[in-house]
Amino acid sequence: MGNSVRSLSWANWRIVYNAVILPILTYAAPVWFSGQAGLLRQLCTAQNAAVWHIAGAFSTTPINPLHQLMGIMPIDLRLQLLIKNASLRLYRIPTSSQLAARVPGPWGPHIRGLIPLPILPPRRPYHSSLLSLTANLPNTPHIDLLAAPPWNLDFAHPCFVANHRIRHNDDRKIWANAIKDLTGKPDHLTIFAQGSKANHNCDDNQMPATCIAVSFSNHTEIEHSSRTLGTSATAFDADLRSLVSAAHLAQNHLNRSPTKQITILSPSPLAIQAISNLRPHAGQFHSREFCSTLTQIFSVFRNAKVHLDWCPSRPKLVGIKRCIKLALNNAANPLPPNLHEPHTIAFQKATAKELALAAWQARWHNADRHSQVYLALPNPPAGKLPPAIQGAMGGSRHACTTLVRFIAGHAFIGEYYARFHPRKPTGCPECGTDPQTVAHVICHCPRFARARAAHLILIAPDLSLSTLFSSKEGSKALLEFLEVTKACFKPLEEPPDPG
């Protein structure tokens, strides 16, 4: 699929790797991988070869900083992340399954009726992969695989309708005006629901999640609900929980003053899609409470109709403005001492990713960062492409691979030849400087003076490699410099991968 001269771009190669190669390497890894050094070496060898090929770098290039340059997590950390996420899938197996009967946890030990397994007992105690996975499980309720609300089966006369479609341009303005009209109707209850996760006027660097719901009728606020979920809840949890609070507000209002039409508005289309979906997903716990509340409403108030729709998150809407104000007040207040934080699956996935990134960042802090490549990596890895690679997107494959080689110091230059190919000439072919270095090509060689003045000096007047390697603007200018000069491009007589 190409080489370092003609091939896919970095972005397309990363898509191919993440979508095709990585799933093959890690297929069923939670079952067969438990930290075996031999297996890990084979996987590292395969991923290292892929990273070298994606970057177009020499096989002598240090692989650890190259992983960060390409935004590809080391394979051992990726395996740990996959195993922790795979353990959460055990919550989605039916409670009547024989697998669930053998899983320790909040719901496994209470299931009886074990069927003897058709295998001989082991001669010595061992720790199975299943038990290893269950060790990662949070103490949360089991997800009901077959749950379905009864009112959801009435297709002829639906009492609940959800629409997550986002309006744009003129449709958005028309819909915003329609929302203003809904809040002014005396026989209509309009509820705004919004979740947030922010740190407002606090110095503790904590970002608690807050769910807000406010009900309006006849241009008057009827009631509001404000709840802090804690720092472990995600923004998605906050959006889902705000819809649950909106359902409770609707139930309270109907108990006081029966209303036929109720509209719940949320600026989160993902939450609107998930809140009435009782099939297994990360926020099904909130979906079950929302649907249970609607079931209670429709069983008592047979003529009630609930419409769940998207609304723009613009402060000009009175309900959104009120939600934002309540969220800011909640974020500024200290967390209550008896707060019970939800241990949701979404939080578990986010935590697993944070732990993997933290381990990757620890390796960056412990590395010897005196080499030239770390000029392009001034910050710890964050799971994204560094600015040097982001700024060079869109260039030719040959220029992009040469840029990576310049950054790593492993390129077709005399300094590299002196280390790995001592029989080759190491001096600059233009001015004779020996050895020829990356800094010499970029900053001093008279052959490239005109291109240097046209592309590099505008970005870095002092021609600092740190400025050129560590910023989007610098890497873009350096890429243009390479496109024009063809400096240190692969010689025609060279093999595809020196070193």
3-state SS, the chain, equals: CECCCCECCHHHHHHHHHHHHHHHHCCCHHHHCCCCHHHHHHHHHHHHHHHHHHHCCCCCCCHHHHHHHHCCCCHHHHHHHHHHHHHHHHHHCCCCCHHHHCCCCCCCCCCCCCCCCCCCCCCCCCCCHHHHHHCCCCCCCCCCCCCCCHHHHCCCCCCEEEECCCCCHHHHHHHHHHHHHHHCCCCEEEEEEEEEECCCCCCCCCCCEEEEEEEEECCEEEEEEEEEEECCCCHHHHHHHHHHHHHHHHHHHHHHCCCCEEEEEECCHHHHHHHCCCCCCCCHHHHHHHHHHHHHHHHHCCCCEEEEEECCCCCCCHHHHHHHHHHHHHHHCCCCCCCCCCCCHHHHHHHHHHHHHHHHHHHHHHCCCCCHHHHCCCCCCCCCCCHHHHCCCCCCHHHHHHHHHHHHCCCCCHHHHHHHCCCCCCCCCCCCCCCCCHHHHHHHCHHHHHHHHHHHCCCCCCCCHHHHHHCHHHHHHHHHHHHHHCCCCCCCCCCCCCC
- Per-residue pLDDT reduced to its tens digit, 169-200: 999 999 999 999 999 999 999 999 999 887 65
Rounded alpha-carbon distances, angstroms, from residue 105 to 101, 131, 137, 351: 10, 10, 8, 20
- Domain spans in the chain, listed from the N-terminal domain onward: 150-340
Rounded alpha-carbon distances, angstroms, from residue 204 to 211, 231, 325: 20, 11, 21
Contact between residue 418 and residue 435 where contact means Cβ atoms under 8 Å apart = yes
Is residue 278 predicted with pLDDT exceeding 60?
yes
Give strand pairing partners of 228: 210
Is residue 305 predicted with pLDDT exceeding 80?
yes
The reported pLDDT for the residue numbered 92 is 64
pLDDT band for 473, please (50, 70, 90 cuts). very high
Rounded alpha-carbon distances, angstroms, from residue 151 to 54, 58, 156, 290, 372: 52, 62, 11, 13, 64
Is residue 222 predicted with pLDDT exceeding 70?
yes
Q: 147 vs 474, which has greater pLDDT? A: 474
User: What's this model's pTM, rounded to 2 decimal places?
Assistant: 0.68
The reported pLDDT for the residue numbered 400 is 92
The reported pLDDT for the residue numbered 194 is 94
pLDDT band for 452, please (50, 70, 90 cuts). very high
The reported pLDDT for the residue numbered 140 is 54
The reported pLDDT for the residue numbered 144 is 55
pLDDT band for 126, please (50, 70, 90 cuts). very low
Average pLDDT over residues 271-293: 84
CATH pick for 150-340 out of 3.30.420.10, 2.170.8.10, 3.10.20.590, 3.40.640.10:
3.30.420.10
Is residue 237 predicted with pLDDT exceeding 90?
no
Is residue 15 predicted with pLDDT exceeding 70?
yes
Percentage of the chain exceeding pLDDT 70: 80
- The token pair at 260 is 């036929």
The reported pLDDT for the residue numbered 347 is 72
Residue 190, amino acid: T
The reported pLDDT for the residue numbered 97 is 67
Q: 346 vs 377, which has greater pLDDT? A: 377
Least confident of 13-17, 277-281, 443-447: 277-281
Average pLDDT over residues 362-388: 92
Is residue 243 predicted with pLDDT exceeding 80?
yes
Tell me, rounded to whole angstroms, the distance of Cα 29 from its chain centroid.
21
The reported pLDDT for the residue numbered 266 is 95
The reported pLDDT for the residue numbered 339 is 59
- Per-residue pLDDT reduced to its tens digit, 334-347: 666 665 655 667 77
Average pLDDT over residues 34-46: 91
Contact between residue 392 and residue 486 where contact means Cβ atoms under 8 Å apart = no
Average pLDDT over residues 208-213: 90
Sheet containing 305-310: which strands, arranged edge to edge?
160-163, 305-310, 261-266, 188-197, 209-217, 220-230
Report the mean per-residue pLDDT for the chain: 84
The reported pLDDT for the residue numbered 8 is 83
pLDDT band for 498, please (50, 70, 90 cuts). very low
Beta-carbon contacts of 374 under 8 Å, excluding residues fewer than 6 positions away, are 65, 367
Give strand pairing partners of 189: 262
Average pLDDT over residues 143-172: 76
Q: 160 vs 100, which has greater pLDDT? A: 160
